[in-house]
């Protein structure tokens, strides 16, 4: 089933002051119309410990407990024993993307973000001249969305000019880091399921805290070439699939071409505003349900001991795994499986889908008359198995000839009556 969410609608909002930049703000829609009441989140802080070796830097990830807290600069930490990333008010509020989600439904990770030791002035002035950067990753347990935010910690300490990992600032367990969010990316379609020959929309949205940012937006499929790229500085665009009018206001949703089996995979939406460069992945899964058929009619009549090959086919399904089960019972309920049933090997169709059939040889006895045979096909695209059933009628040996003769006589008689009715009489009665 195709799973697509409508993209967010964005607009420009201007503010007055020393910096009159307009933030690209995401307006609420059906997904985010409820402002989140979450004031803090337990979060995993993935710190880094780097050791320089003869083969280059060796990075070891250290998983630490932390808290992402929303509030004012002087607010007390909700958990003084952990690292606290205190997100103070700015033109962007990550919580507006959370909708009505509960904290228990969210996974939260914070990581350091490297600018390779260089200093780039961010267009919106901070408290101090320099910045340290962190990424905030939020994801919903039911795959409703993924969010990537860039947090800025203003500092008066200039960069060393070396790679960040050579001089990471020490962060202690009880430290409080005052931050603001300057850029947010979101996808409401972390996983998209699509049938063949559809054009699924892979949602991607970005929001930046200043007007007319010099931004580069790119879509690519992992392991393949670039699908779309736009550089606002040069005005150059490569590829297609993104609405340019929506892109001007932060909408980077990609509409894929008609899907084929090979369309499945991981797609990446990337947004870069120097020195920040963020990416979100969208997994596109191609699924096609099987078409199920029998080689016999719903009512099958056989003479006793007459053998018939019974076939149940599952055609045109994707991905590969499918299960076919033959069963039978004398009533309408499904009963014991047909032990003699055999499976063919999988066949690959020209369009990349698969076919499989299960068959058995039926040689009935008179007491099998009235028995129902059911073929059940299960596949990941089906909420319940598809079932095809036929009812068997068994006749005594020789009855077929008698039935055939009776049918022939009836046909001859009907033809004769139609002929007599059409013959014109040669006399007329007065």
48 and 167 assigned to the same domain:
yes
pLDDT at 402: 58
Contacts of 407 (CB under 8 A, 6+ apart): none
Which residue, among 290, 286, 300, has the nearest Cα to 324 in the 3D structure? 290
Q: CA 35, CA 53: separation in Å to the nearest integer?
A: 48
Residue 231 forms part of a structural domain: yes
Residue 398 pLDDT level (bands cut at 50, 70, 90): low
The pLDDT assigned to 146 comes to 97
Q: What is the DSSP letter of 169?
A: P
pLDDT above 90 (res 257): yes
Q: Can you read off the two tokens belonging to residue 204?
A: 């991607």
**Whether residue 78 is found in the same domain as residue 159:** yes
Q: Which of 192, 201, 272, 196 is nearest to 242 (CA)?
A: 201
What is the C-alpha radius of gyration for the chain, rounded to an integer number of angstroms? 34
Helix (H) / strand (E) containing 408: helix 399-422
Q: 207 and 142 in one domain?
A: no
Structure tokens at 225: 């070439």
Q: Are residues 97 and 178 in the same domain?
A: yes
CA–CA gap between residue 297 and residue 72 (Å, rounded) = 74
Given this model, what pLDDT does residue 168 score?
79
Q: Among the listed ranges 53-62, 120-129, 365-374, which one has the minimum average pLDDT value? A: 53-62
The Cα–Cα gap between 253 and 58 comes to 37
Cα–Cα dist 381/74, whole Å: 53
418 located within any domain = no
Using DSSP bridges, classify how beta strands 347-348 and 322-329 pair: parallel, antiparallel or unpaired. Answer: unpaired
Same domain, residue pair 243 and 274: yes
How many structural domains are present in the chain? 3
One-character DSSP codes across 297-327: -SEEEEETT--EEEEEEEEEEBSS-EEEEEE
pTM: 0.79
User: 6 pLDDT exceeds 50?
Assistant: no
Instruction: Provide CB contacts within 8 A for 116, sequence distance 6+.
Output: 163, 164
Whether residue 316 lies inside any domain: the answer is yes
Q: Do both 203 and 174 map to the same domain? A: no
Task: Name the percent of the chain lying above pLDDT 70.
Answer: 83
Least confidently predicted of 234-243, 303-312, 406-415: 406-415
SS3 377: strand
Q: Are 118 and 182 in a shared domain?
A: yes
| Banded model confidence at residue 119, pLDDT cuts 50, 70, 90 | confident
- Please name the helix (run of DSSP H) or strand (run of DSSP E) that holds residue 246, with its range, or none: helix 244-247
Cβ-contact 257, 264 below 8 angstroms? no
Where residue 137 sits, what CATH number does that domain have?
2.60.40
Same domain (yes/no): 268, 308: no
Structural domain contains residue 411: no
Task: Band the pLDDT of 400: cuts 50, 70, 90.
Answer: low
Cα distance between residue 365 and residue 212, in whole Å: 82
308-325 residue pLDDT tens? 999 999 999 999 999 999
114 class by beta-carbon count within 10 Å (0-12 exposed, 13-18 middle, 19+ buried):
middle
83 DSSP β-pair partners: 66
Query: Do the Cβ atoms of 156 and 146 come closer than 8 Å?
Result: no
Structural domain ending residue among the three candidates 264, 287, 310: 287
Q: 151 in a domain, yes or no?
A: yes
Same domain, residue pair 225 and 317: no
- Beta bridge partners, 64, equal 45
Whole domain around residue 39: which residue ranges? 32-186
Answer whether the bond into residue 12 is a cis peptide, omega within 30°. no
| Lowest-pLDDT range of 56-70, 163-177, 330-344, 375-389 | 330-344
Residue 17 maps to a domain: no
* Residue scoring higher pLDDT (27 or 345): 345
CATH number for the domain harbouring residue 278: 2.60.40.10
Query: 41 pLDDT band (50/70/90 cuts)?
Result: very high
Q: Cβ of 42: how many Cβ atoms within 10 Å?
A: 15
**Which of 287, 316, 337 finishes a domain?**
287
What are the backbone dihedrals phi and psi of residue 421, each rounded to the nearest 5 degrees, phi first? -65, -25
Residue 304 belongs to a domain: yes
Examine the domain organization and report whether 80 and 194 are in the same domain: no
In this structure, the answer to whether residues 43 and 170 fall within a common structural domain is yes
Residues in the chain, how many? 430
Q: How far apart are the first and last CA of the chain?
A: 77
Do both 248 and 162 map to the same domain? Answer: no
Of 136, 169, 186, which residue is a domain's last? 186
Residue 349 domain flag: yes
Which of 205, 351, 368 lies closest to 288, judged by CA?
351
φ, ψ of residue 406 to 5 degrees: the values are -60, -45
């Amino acid at each position: 089933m195709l799973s697509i969410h409508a993209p967010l609608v964005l607009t420009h909002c201007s503010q007055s002051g020393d910096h009159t930049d307009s933030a690209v703000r995401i307006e609420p829609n059906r997904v985010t119309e409820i402002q989140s009441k979450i004031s803090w989140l337990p979060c995993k802080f993935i710190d880094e410990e780097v050791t320089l070796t003869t083969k280059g830097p060796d990075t070891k990830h250290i998983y630490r407990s932390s808290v992402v807290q929303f509030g004012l600069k002087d607010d007390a930490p909700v958990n003084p024993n952990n690292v606290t990333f205190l997100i103070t008010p700015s033109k962007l509020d990550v919580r507006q993307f959370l909708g009505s989600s509960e904290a228990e439904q969210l996974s939260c990770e914070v990581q350091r973000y490297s600018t390779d030791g260089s200093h780039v002035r961010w267009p919106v002035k901070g408290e101090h001249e320099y910045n340290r950067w962190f990424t905030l990753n939020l994801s919903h347990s039911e795959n409703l969305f993924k969010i990537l935010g860039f947090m800025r910690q203003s500092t008066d300490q200039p960069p060393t000019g070396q790679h960040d990992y050579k001089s990471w600032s020490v962060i202690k367990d009880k430290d409080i880091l005052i931050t603001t969010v300057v850029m947010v990316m979101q996808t409401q379609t972390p996983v998209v399921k699509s049938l063949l020959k559809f054009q699924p929309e892979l949602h991607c949205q970005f929001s930046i805290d200043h007007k007319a940012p010099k931004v580069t937006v790119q879509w690519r499929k992992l392991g393949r070439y670039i699908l779309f790229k736009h550089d606002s500085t040069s005005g150059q665009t490569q590829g297609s699939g993104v609405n340019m009018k929506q892109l001007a206001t932060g909408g980077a949703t990609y509409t894929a071409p008609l899907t084929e089996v090979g369309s499945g995979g991981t797609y990446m939406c990337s947004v870069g505003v120097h020195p920040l460069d963020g990416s979100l992945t969208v997994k596109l899964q191609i699924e096609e349900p099987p078409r199920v058929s029998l080689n016999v009619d719903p009512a099958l009549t056989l003479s006793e001991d007459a053998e018939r090959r019974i076939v149940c086919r599952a055609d045109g399904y994707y991905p590969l795994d499918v299960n076919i089960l033959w069963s039978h019972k004398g009533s309408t309920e499904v009963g014991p499986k047909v032990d003699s049933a055999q499976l063919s090997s999988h066949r690959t169709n020209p369009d990349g889908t698969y076919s499989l059939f299960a068959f058995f040889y039926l040689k009935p006895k008179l007491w099998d008359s009235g028995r129902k045979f059911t073929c059940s096909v299960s596949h990941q695209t089906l909420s319940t198995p598809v079932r095809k059933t036929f009812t068997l009628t068994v006749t005594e040996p020789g009855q077929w000839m008698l039935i055939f003769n009776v049918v022939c006589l009836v046909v001859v008689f009907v033809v004769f009556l139609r002929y007599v009715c059409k013959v014109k009489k040669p006399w007329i009665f007065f």
